[in-house]
Amino acid sequence: MAFLTGSSLAQSASYALSAVLASTLLGPHQRGLMVLGITTGSIAGLLSGLGTGSALRSRLPGVAGTPAGVRLLSSYTWWSVVSVVAGGGLAVLLSVLSAPLIDPGLGEPSFLFAVLVVTTGYVALTQFPDVWYAAGRFRAGSGWAAVVAFGGLVGILIGARLDRSASSLLLAQGLGMVALAVVQGVRLHAVGLVPFHSPGGRELTELLRHGCRALGLTMGLALALRADRYVLGAVAGAATVGIYSVAATLSEGPRVVPAALGQIVNREVALGCGVPRVIRARRTALLAAIAMSLLVAVGGWFLIVPVFGAEFADARPLLLVLLLAEIAFAPFAVASRGLLGGGWMTTAGLLGAGGSVAALILFAIAIPLWGGYGAAIACVLTYAGLSVVSWRLLRPRLIGNTAPRPRETAPPPIRV
């Protein structure tokens, strides 16, 4: 738990420093374009995986170390390769379609190439950690995720010395992520978690079938967390997105401990844990989110203007509202992972789909009325609703989840 939290903090710090650096170098408008490119790449990377990471984490613990487990991992490997191509194409298409609605800069060739590269990095950041987590290697998974995020920060630092534009910094961030993702892929292959054997037809079908059922949750969560930038950009322009993104990035700090607990709950539920352990995890997540939100609120209020400049002053009150949203999000971060770990993919998918629809409706109503404040208030309502509903769905299912899932054979531990 301590290592997961530390790695998550390092990952969040890399994102925050990247945001600080890019915002100070670019200003609100160019920073807004870069945020939209990152948002497009992260959503496309998540969608192209079709939920296969969640399916792998639910199924691998029962067959690890068996021939079926090798076929499952091979199938996941090859689908991840497909995801790179599909995700990049989808991200470029989304950016082109968004250009007439938000800003013509989203459709420039240099920007589209940068989106393509950064999407590749986000595919790796989505698919690779799930392999480590599925094998129970939480330290390796969280550590490599932090390393890839740090690669993006290093890329921005190098890119800033060459050219200071949204497309250049976005490309530099993507190249930094991809470079270290390749190193991670080599390591995964060396320890047998990314084999390139022929994929098993049945295993690939099962991955996709179960993954698509869980996709509603992963995509619904992505839309609930990121759609506010798109709607805000369409209504108020890229500069407003740049200001809002500063508050949104800083507000994600309290999510670190709940996210780490969710990763552990995912595997424990897959192995048969019951209600009491998940209740303890939910309580710890909520308390940690409250404590960290207080720290971020104080620090952000006094540091945003000195660090980013007077044009970002409106991010301070936005930060306070978004921190309330993060506190409301904490129980969902645990409960949603429990649903995935238990293999209740359809339930998780419907939860995510419902949450995304609710979020889009709230954003469409609140943002035209109150701009960035409307987006922040909609986040509070969306996250609170997701937390309440996810726990109501998870708790009765955990009551009968008292025994580990059957294994084909007793698998030897994977050495990493």
Distance CA 316, CA 113 (A): 33
Where do the domains of the chain lie?
A: 2-398
Q: Once rounded to an integer, what is the mean pLDDT over residues 382-393?
A: 92
- pLDDT band of residue 409 (cuts 50, 70, 90) is very low
The answer to whether the beta carbons of residues 192 and 186 sit under 8 Å apart is no
Give the mean model confidence (pLDDT) for residues 269-286: 84
Q: What percent of the chain has pLDDT over 70?
A: 93
Q: With cut-offs at 50, 70 and 90, classify the pLDDT of residue 307.
A: confident
Residue 217 near residue 223 (C-beta atoms within 8 A):
no
Least confident of 285-289, 351-355, 357-361, 407-411: 407-411
The pTM (predicted TM-score) of the whole model is: 0.69
Share of the chain above pLDDT 90, in %: 29
Determine contact, residues 51/213, Cβ cutoff 8 Å.
yes
Structure tokens at 26: 């670019």
pLDDT exceeds cutoff 80 at 410? no
**What is d(CA 325, CA 313) in angstroms, rounded to the nearest whole number?**
20
Residue 228 in this model has a pLDDT that exceeds 90: no
pLDDT over threshold 50, residue 94 = yes
Q: H/E element holding 323?
A: helix 315-341
Highest mean pLDDT among 9-23, 211-225, 331-345: 331-345
Q: What pLDDT score was predicted for residue 407? A: 38
Q: Which residue has the higher pLDDT, 205 or 389?
A: 389
Tell me the average pLDDT across 26-41.
Answer: 84
Per-residue pLDDT at 400: 64
Residue 207 burial (CB < 10 Å; 0-12/13-18/19+)? buried
CA–CA separation, 355 and 389 (whole Å): 10
260 vs 224, more confident? 260
Lowest mean pLDDT among 26-40, 165-179, 401-415: 401-415
User: Under a CB-based contact definition with an 8 Å cutoff, are residues 243 and 314 in contact?
Assistant: yes
Rounded to an integer, what distance in angstroms lies between the CA atom of residue 55 and that of residue 48?
14
Residue 340: pLDDT over 80? yes
Mean pLDDT estimate for the chain: 84
pLDDT, tens only, 310-331: 888 888 999 999 999 999 999 9
Contacts of 86 (CB under 8 A, 6+ apart): 48
Mean pLDDT computed over 363-376: 89
- Alpha carbons 34 and 25: distance in angstroms, whole number: 12
Q: Which range has the top average pLDDT, 181-195, 238-252, 257-271? A: 181-195
In the chain, how long is the greatest CA-to-CA distance? 63
How many Cα atoms occupy the beta-carbon half-sphere of 30 within 13 Å? 15
CA terminus-to-terminus distance, the chain: 18
Question: Closest by alpha carbon to 382, among 225, 213, 255?
Answer: 225
CA distance 15 to 251: 12
Q: In the predicted model, is pLDDT for residue 266 greater than 70?
A: yes
Lowest mean pLDDT among 38-42, 139-143, 201-205: 201-205
Question: Does pLDDT of 190 surpass 80?
Answer: yes
Q: How confident is the model at residue 401 (pLDDT cuts 50, 70, 90)?
A: low
Mean pLDDT computed over 143-157 = 89
Q: What's the pLDDT at 205?
A: 85
